[in-house]
Amino acid sequence: MRHRKHTFKINRTGSHRRAMMANMACSLIVEGRIKTTLVRAKELRKIVEKMITLGKRGSSDTRRHAALRQAVAYLRQPSVVRVLFDDIAPRFANRAGGYTRIMKLGPRVGDAAEMCLIEILTDDVSPKAEAAPKAEGAEKTVAAPATQEAAETEEAVEATVSEEDAETDAVVDEEKNAG
């Protein structure tokens, strides 16, 4: 019986699935964000988060070396593992998981597969730290966008929000003056 034996199959052999996931994990580590289907992204999240957790090991040289070997055995690209251990993992030293984000994009035109962006978070801000009350006058910190496209999107959203706020303020002022 296959009770609770969840596997990500998508009509591929086991070796093909493992190779595809390793390749996608390497692409995500190098690029910072990739566009893929939702099913693949959910499976990729499990793998990438385990790799980042491996990258956080480093209390002793022996333990770090063992983690490096485990990561290279799965990812098969030593240069990508170096990026993971030297650049990405240290950013999340104080975070206990949740290193990636999946954003849905809608259906793909050809076959209506649900598409999404999966990205590695750019900073170490835990949800508890965001929810904590801030001191009066403290400014909001904004994560740096991974690409120029993300920066342009964020600027457009901020401009739209500020326009909506101005319109709302104008309506409220008119209502006060009329009443």
Q: In sequence order, what are the beta bridge partners of 116?
A: 36, 104
In 3D space, the residue among 112, 92, 95, 115 whose CA is nearest the CA of residue 104 turns out to be 115
Q: In what order do the strands lie in the sheet with 33-37?
A: 33-37, 114-120, 100-107
Q: What percent of the chain has pLDDT over 70?
A: 68
Q: How far apart are the first and last CA of the chain?
A: 72
Model pLDDT, residue 147: 57
- 101-155 residue pLDDT tens: 999 999 999 999 999 999 999 875 555 555 555 445 444 444 444 556 655 655 6
Question: CA 53 → CA 18, 82, 139, 161, 165, distances in Å?
Answer: 19, 14, 31, 37, 42
pTM of model > 0.85? no
Q: How many CB atoms lie within 10 A of CB 122?
A: 16
